[in-house]
Amino acid sequence: MLSTRFSRFRPLRSVLAAAALAMLAACATAPGAGRVSSDGVDVDPNQPVRVALLVPLGSADPSREVLGRSLVNAAQLAQADLRNATIDLAVYPTAGTAEGGAAAASQAVAEGAKIIVGPLFSTATAGVEPVAAGAQLKVISLSNNPEVAGQGVYILGNTFLNTADRLV
């Protein structure tokens, strides 16, 4: 019964794993690259890059907990595949709320994150945006809501408009 209940998340897990792999691969540096700077964020290719992964853990909703654990597992698998990249993956729970997103982003900034991946939900992304903007960090939100994009927030989720364009 339990496996049947969560089987609807199977396609989502595959998409999330691929997205996590793509995001972490983008953090890898090219051999011989020097110091990289973009919008005030300095990255030394000889030092680990701290990537903050904001996930919907810490809520009372069991389906959000499953999604959060799946995202963490996918990111850790992707990190293991990147043998030459020096990534310090730090996971922060958001509970899927704006307040949780803001708190997670504040903690990530305080701990030296260079980029924020997540959150999954647009409500949490709305809480992350002002904190990340204040620290001049980019956010790759996993949301599919285009309304949260802008001001340094990019969405990786498949939007309804993109899906409709492909169907037409």
Grade residue 47 by pLDDT with cuts at 50, 70 and 90. Answer: confident
How far, in Å, CA of 153 to CA of 145, rounded?
11
pTM comes to 0.75
The token pair that represents 118 in the structure block: 């997540």
What's the pLDDT at 82? 84
Domain boundaries, the chain: 2-28+44-167
User: For 124-145, how does the pLDDT look when each residue is reduced to its tens digit (9 = 90+)?
Assistant: 999 999 999 999 999 999 999 9
Contact, 71 vs 55, CB < 8 A? yes
Does the domain made of 2-28+44-167 have the CATH classification 3.40.50.300? no
Distance CA 90, CA 111 (A): 9
Beta strands in the chain (DSSP E): 36-38, 41-43, 49-55, 87-93, 115-117, 139-141, 153-155
- What's the sign of the alpha-carbon dihedral 40, 109, 43, 19? negative
For residue 30 the two structure tokens come to 């090219």
At position 49, the amino acid (one-letter code) is V
Encode pLDDT of 93-136 as tens digits: 999 999 999 999 999 999 999 999 999 999 999 999 999 999 99
pLDDT (tens digit, 9 = 90+) per residue, 54-66?
999 999 999 999 9
Pairing mode, if any, of strands 36-38 and 87-93? unpaired
Taking each helix axis from N to C end, the angle separating 98-110 and 122-134, rounded to the nearest 10 degrees, works out to 30
